[in-house]
Structures are given as C-alpha cells and as structure tokens.
A and B are shown apart, each in its own frame.
Chain A
Amino acid sequence: MMDRYTKLQMVGIYIGIFLFLSFMLLPFVEMFVTSLRPLEHLRTTPYQFWSDKFSFDAYRQMWETVPLLGRYILNSIFIASMVTACTMLLVVPAAYAYARLDFPFKDTSLGLILAINMFSGAVLLIPLYRVLKALGLLNTYWAMIVPGIAFLIPTGIWLLRSYLEKIPRELEEAAYVDGASRMYTLRRVVLPLALPGLLVVGTATFIGAYAQQFLFAITFNQNRELQPLPAGLQEFVGRQQVEWNQMMAAALTGVLPVMLIFFFLQKYLVAGLTAGAVKE
C-alpha cells in the first residue's frame, strides 16, 4: 500500500526513467544507427536523422579498412584474460589472509593496498616505462599485462575478502580438528566454497582489465600487431577520410564480448560488487 503510486506519479516515474536511460543509451543507439548508414549519408549537411538505405555493409568492410582489426579484438581479449588469471593468483591468497587470519600490520597493510586506488597509472608511467624497458618488456604483451595487474589487485582483494568473510568459520575449524594443514584447508575447504565469489571477482577483474587497456597500450606498446582494440580503433581516426560508420561498427563489435559476459552474469555481478554498500 505504501508503495502504491497514483496514475500521475506512475507517468512521472516512467518519464524520468525514460530521460535517464536516454542519456545513458543515446551514444550506443547513435553508434548503432551510424554503423548501418552509408558514409555519403553521414556526410550530408544539414544533418539527417534518417537514411533510406540501412545496411550491414560497414560490418563487412571494416575488416578490409583496418586489416588488423580482428587481431586487435583478440589482443584485447588475450590481455584481459592474462591480467585476470594473474590477478586472481595474487588476490585469492591475500584476500583469504585478510578475511580470516590475524597478523601484525593487518589493517595498515590493507589500508596501504587500498590506497593504490588513489593513483592512476598515469602518475607512475615514467618509472614504469623505465622498469619495463630495463626488463625488456617494452612493446610486448607483458608491457600491457603487468601494469594492468597491479591496479586491479586492491579492488580484487577488497571484494573477495568480504565474500570470504561470509563463509562459516566452523567448516575450517572442522577441517583443522581433522588434522588438515592450513594450506590444505584453504585449497580443499575454502576455495571450493568460495567458487561463486571467485567467479564474481574474476568477471569484475576481466571487465576492468578489458576497460583499462588504452593508457598502457598507447604508452608502452608501439608494436601495431600487439595493440588492443581501444588503441587500435584510433587507426580509423588517423586516416585521411574518417570512415565513421565502419569505426562505429568496429567499436560495437569490440564491446560485444564484455557485454555478453556482463548480461549473462549481471545479477550476480551487481550483487557482488555492491555488497559493501549494503553491509552497513
């Protein structure tokens, strides 16, 4: 009863939601419509909202205009996957330590790790550039993977920690009483139970890793063959005549992988990511 709205209120809410979502989705709609229109229609002034012939030609031509496009998309996925795998390897044990164990400097070290969120990669680029150069990693996949990992560790630890804290302690104690070592308990008792949480954190990390590639790619990698999509897309811009319809088609194709993952897992993801907000 409390939640019942009058007709007028309903209309108001729907109009509000419509306006809000229009702002959020307008660029996507415009990108999609643009990708369907022939270039000469895009290049007419005054602006036309509609074209009479829509086609998916741009989705075919874009592979010829930028021959490495497929490579860029695969690079993006590869880099994001590697970053995710490495990040999880580092995050899982650390998150367990913060969730369950008691040790000196626990709060201080966690605070310092979370403080990393304060830096963007751009602040540390100069020495990172030299570190990567010294290690011979410049212009390799690793130049984009290694810095990526570092900036995803804090959030990963934070998210996974709150998930692990919810697993009942009794199970670990039971394993301990049965004579299992700590490592064994972690591997065989805690991790299987934490699988849903690991999936959420893993997916969030993947999305983050997919999203953050631009800066590291344009700074640490000059090798065109290794470039991920966000950097590769700039190739469309640099041409004499910008083929906007193909560029939009390529951009939309490139976000497809993350969008698919996200829409399948969004319920769990949002619940997992915002868990901290509800806990208060």
Chain B
Amino acid sequence: MIRQCCRWLAVALWGLFLTETAQAASPIRPTETVRRKVLPEAWFAWLLLTPAMVFIAVIIAWPLVETIRLSFTDADLGGESYVGVANYVDLMESRRFRQTVTTTFYWMFLSVGLKLILGLIGACLLNAAVPGRAVFRMLVMPPWVIPIAIGVIGWLWMYNGYFGLLSGMGQRIGLFDGPYAFLAGRTSAFYSAVVTDVWVGTPMITLFFLAAMQGVNRDLYEAAWVDGAGRWYRFRRITIPQIMPVIVSMALLSAIWTFNSFDIIFILTQGGPRGATTTLIIDTYKVAIGNFKFGEGAARAVVIVVLLATFSALYLFLLNKVNKTYGVK
C-alpha cells in the first residue's frame, strides 16, 4: 500500500517536472524540425488520476482492508485482540442473524421489483404525447432530489397512528376501527418502510426509463404501426427490448442501493418493532456504532460486502448467459 503511494507520488512529481520543461520549450521556431518533450500519455494520465486515487485509497480502500482485519478481532472501546473466525461462527449460529439476512433479501427483492414496475408504468405515462407532460415530468422529481432523511420525516408523520393522514383516512373509509399505528406492528412496519423506500427510489428509475424510451428510434415504431401493430404490441416488442439494457442496469444499481438503504429504516423504525425491519445495514450500524462492538460489526460489514459482490457477480453472469442464448449483442 505505502509503496504504491510512493510510486504514485514519484510519478506525480516527475510528471510535474516534465510539464514544466515542456512548457518552457514551447515557442516553436518554424524553420527547424521541432522535437518537443511531451509528457508521455500514460504518465500524464496517472498524474491526473493521483489525487482522486490517493483519496479513495485513504478513505475507502484502507478502511475496507481494516474492516476485514477487525472482523477477526474482538475490538471494542477497550482494545482488541485476535479471535480468529469466532465472529463469523457466532453469526452463522445466530438464528437472529439468519433472520436478518432473510429480511434484507426480502426487502431488496420486494422493493426493487415494485420500483421497477412502478418506474416502467410511470415512464410510459410520462412518455405519452399529451399536453402538460413537461410539467408532469418535473413533478416526479422532488422525492429524488431532497435529502432522504427529510422526506422520510413526512412519512413518519403520515404513518402516525393517532394524528396521521393514512390512519385518519383509513378510519374515515372504515378500513380501521380505531387509530392504526403503521409503525407499531411488525408486518405493517415492514411494508410501510417498503412503501417509503419505493417512494424514494421510483423517480430516478422513472426518469432513466423515460430517457431510454425517448432514445428509441422512432422509425421502428412507425414501421410497426404501418404494419398494423397495436400499442400494446409495439410496447412489448419494441419498447421493452430496446430499453432492456437500461432496465437491467437500473435493476442492479437499485438492488445495491436498496440493500444498503439506511436513512429510511433508521428514521422510521430504527429496525424495530422487535427486529421486523432490521436489515443487515441497520444491524451492522447498531452493533458497531450503537454498542461499540467494532469487531462483531466489522464481521457483519464483511458479510454485506461478500453478499453484495456475490449477488452482483451472479447477476452479471446470468445476464451474460441470457444475452448469449438470445443473441443480444
């Protein structure tokens, strides 16, 4: 690590020197062949990359390595000592942790699925050539733009059992007999959090799908239309296949973000009631930062990274296979 940094630094300094000399030598005399000293491309590239790379190395790469090391210790506020794989064994044996993993994946698949479906419907609606669509497109964006932590406060209020809008509406139309506290019951708390997560994530997906739909060549639609293809047929056979690459990449990105989603759950329920909304991220945070059990928290963090990396790799692998089978690209 350190040696790598030194090498980068050396390249950077040397690069700086070369640029200076190149600049000094720059007035060109037209009569003679000019042999300028120009910084080699690769060196210049690494010179430009060095600041960002060093930053990433210190703030992300090193902590990542350190997380892995800590996961083999029992580090807490008092100190740390090596405990081997004990943390991982504890996790494997813990029924609650297995429950957390299940919850996390259920949370991810459900929420991402809903976001994709809703995003696709939204994009179709906003893509329709109707008056006022420019305004409608703009009105989708607020949940995406504002800080999640602030938007969720609105939901916290709406979910309130006694004074909240949703409980009130439910009572008016006779759905609930009395005040219904959405965040108090295990099931309702979980699905309430899902709804809020879908609310946060849908606008971005909608806009990306919309952009992709607008990028589809109109000739395709016209050709199909001339041949008498209806709207639904054109949607199924032209739109969907054409925007498939965007759907696929948004699905993966959204899955990763949803897996890692912290603010929503933490503000709404803090993982409760009785662990119903505890996903891996929340669990890790509570163990490591809430209870200062750095070692056990680190083991959980490593599990998250491994699960996400495996999931992404598997996803891309299957995708590749599907593409090959159907001859896409």
Contact = CB atoms under 8 A, between A and B. Distances in A.
A90 interface: yes
A122 B285 contact: yes
B42 A102 contact: yes
A126 B157 contact: no
A261 B122 CA distance: 24
A196 interface: no
Among A17, A104, A210: residue with most chain B CB under 10 A = A17
Interface string A123-167: 111111111000000000000001101100100010000000000
A270 B288 CA distance: 38
Contacts of A46: 168, 171-172
Contacts of B109: none
Contacts of B66: 126-127, 130
B297 to A, nearest CB: 6
Interface stretch (B88-96, B136-144, B182-190): B136-144
A82 B147 CA distance: 17
B162 to A, nearest CB: 6
B153 A47 contact: no
B171 A274 contact: no
Contacts of A271: 211
Contacts of B157: 30-31, 34, 244, 247-248
A109 B256 CA distance: 20
Interface in B276-290: 281, 284-285, 288-289
A131 B289 contact: no
Interface string A81-102: 0000000011101101100011
B49 interface: yes
B142 A25 contact: yes
Interface string A46-66: 111100000000000000000
B191 interface: no
Given A24-B142, A96-B48, A2 B154 contact: no
Contact of B168 (A25, A47, A130, A277): A47
A16 B284 CA distance: 40
A153 B150 CA distance: 24
Contact of B262 (A31, A34, A122): A122
B30 to A, nearest CB: 11
Interface residues of A, number: 105
B48 A274 contact: no
A181 interface: yes
Interface stretch (B54-62, B98-106, B317-325): B54-62
A251 B155 CA distance: 12
Contacts of B158: 26-27, 30
A174 to B, nearest CB: 14
A47 B167 contact: yes
Contacts of B211: 270-271, 274-275, 277-278
Given A24-B142, A122-B260, A126-B297, A149 B55 contact: yes
Nearest to B231: A9
B133 to A, nearest CB: 8
Interface string A159-202: 00000000000000000101111111010000000000000000
Interface string B50-91: 011101101110111011001000000000000000000000
Contacts of A44: 163
A69 B289 CA distance: 26
Contacts of A16: 121, 125
B48 A97 contact: yes
A126 B225 contact: no
Interface residues of B, number: 108
B28 A179 contact: yes
Given A27-B155, A126-B294, A180 B121 contact: no
A36 interface: no
Interface string B299-327: 00100110011001000000000000000
A126 B51 contact: no
A280 B26 contact: no
B52 A90 contact: yes
B147 A126 contact: no
Contact of B298 (A2, A94, A126): A126
Interface string A19-37: 0110111111011001000
A280 B246 contact: yes
Contacts of B27: 179
A271 B142 CA distance: 16
Contact of B153 (A247, A270, A275): A247
Given A47-B169, A214-B263, A251 B125 contact: no
Given A10-B130, A27-B158, A181-B22, A45 B179 contact: yes
Contacts of A104: 42
Given A27-B199, A123-B284, A263-B138, A182 B52 contact: no
Contacts of A42: 163
26 contacts: A14-B130, A20-B121, A25-B142, A30-B157, A31-B153, A45-B162, A47-B163, A103-B46, A116-B60, A120-B261, A122-B285, A122-B301, A126-B294, A127-B67, A127-B298, A131-B59, A149-B55, A150-B59, A178-B28, A182-B39, A183-B19, A211-B146, A213-B147, A230-B147, A255-B146, A277-B215
Closest 9 CB pairs of A and B: A47-B168, A274-B211, A120-B260, A230-B149, A27-B154, A127-B63, A93-B48, A278-B215, A127-B66
